[in-house]
Amino acid sequence: MKVAIIGAGPAGAHLAYELRVRGAEVDLYDAREAWEKPCGGGVTSKALADFPFLTTPDVARKLVRSVRLISAARRELTVPPRSDFAIFPRRELGQFLRVRAVTAGVRMRVDRVEKTARESGKWIIESASGLRNEVDLLVGADGASSVIRRRVGIRFGPEDFSYGLGWHLYRADNGKSAELSGQVDIRYLEKLGGYLWLFPRVDHHSYGIACGYREASPQEMKERLLAHIDSQDPLAARMIRAQAPGSHFYAAMIPSLGVTKWDRLRASRPLEGWALVGDAAGSVDPLTGEGIYYALLSAGLLARSIAGCFDHYEVIS
């Protein structure tokens, strides 16, 4: 079976690997080289336990030593994680997952997919380079704002998203910082359904805040996050306000589906030869915004279910 996977984030790259090792012919498309996708990069203990390849020494990650939880009423609790919990740089994680897929025999195409059409039981994929590809199965792994999702007729509305923003901050005194020594801050927000976080990464800090889409303006979210950073590390807050060279702003949507949406969602239609995984399928914990684990999980589940019917698939396609 020939498969085209659109998007080589954790969902697409892992699916590509899993399908290839089960014998499928896989083209994995991404519009860009591995990149620092807007994300905290937090990979929970259950993700590290269920996907042991994430413990590879090839990606430098920061192990979390303690988690400080701060309630909206400012009560605090600091706990060590029961088992490993790590903060990953997304570019390096993405690169690792792509190399793993390519080494297994996946064809990686750094090429934006622009057109998809269903013709005579096949999908025709056209990309920015002018390449035309004909496949049996089209998989949308193209993230929260998935175009493939819309093309196959699945609609997410504003109520189906959270919105997150923050800064990565690189600074000269990184090594001395308390946060970089392995402490995570998670603070719940007064009158907003979300939280803010301060994450240590290997060579910088990652600060972020997320809540329901349009529940607060980006300006209000920035101010709330900066007020917390200021209370912990005034120099960091000053650097961000001054847009110092080491400070990089990011913002992005996070799928956050309610129960009704989940009940009605169909993330695949074998007879139409398409499926969605990861953010494209809304596979994110709506309370925590954790998506890397569910990207990998949804990819693994899809690979297993497709592999179970390769032969049957050839007959119906």
Ligand X SMILES: Cc1cc2nc3c(=O)[nH]c(=O)nc-3n(C[C@H](O)[C@H](O)[C@H](O)COP(=O)(O)OP(=O)(O)OC[C@H]3O[C@@H](n4cnc5c(N)ncnc54)[C@H](O)[C@@H]3O)c2cc1C
For ligand X, the binding residues (CB under 6 A) are 6-12, 29-32, 37-42, 112-113, 141-143, 147, 164, 208, 210, 252, 254, 278-280, 284, 289-293, 295
Q: Give the closest residue to 196 by CA, choosing from 204, 184, 179.
A: 184
* CA distances in angstroms from 26 to 185, 210, 315, listed in the order given: 40, 35, 19
Minimum distance between the CB of residue 197 and ligand X, rounded to whole angstroms?
A: 7
Nearer to ligand X, 1 or 277 (CB): 277
User: Which residue shows structure tokens 């199965």?
Assistant: 137
Nearer to ligand X, 89 or 273 (CB): 89
Least Å distance, CB 46 to ligand X, is 11
Helix (H) or strand (E) holding 77: strand 76-79
SS3 128: coil
Q: Could you tell me the smallest distance in angstroms from the CB atom of residue 244 to ligand X?
A: 21
CB 250 within 8 A of CB 166: yes
**What are the DSSP E strand ranges found in 128-194?**
132-135, 137-140, 161-169, 183-188
H/E run at residue 19 = helix 10-21
Nearest position to ligand X, beta carbon? 291
Closest CB to ligand X among residues 194, 273: 194
Which residue's CB is nearer to ligand X, number 42 or number 273?
42
Mark residue 130 as left, alpha or beta (left: phi above 0; alpha: psi -120 to 50; beta: remaining). left
C-beta of 172: minimal distance to ligand X in Å?
25
Q: How far is the CB of 115 from ligand X (least distance, A)?
A: 10
Nearer to ligand X, 304 or 312 (CB): 304
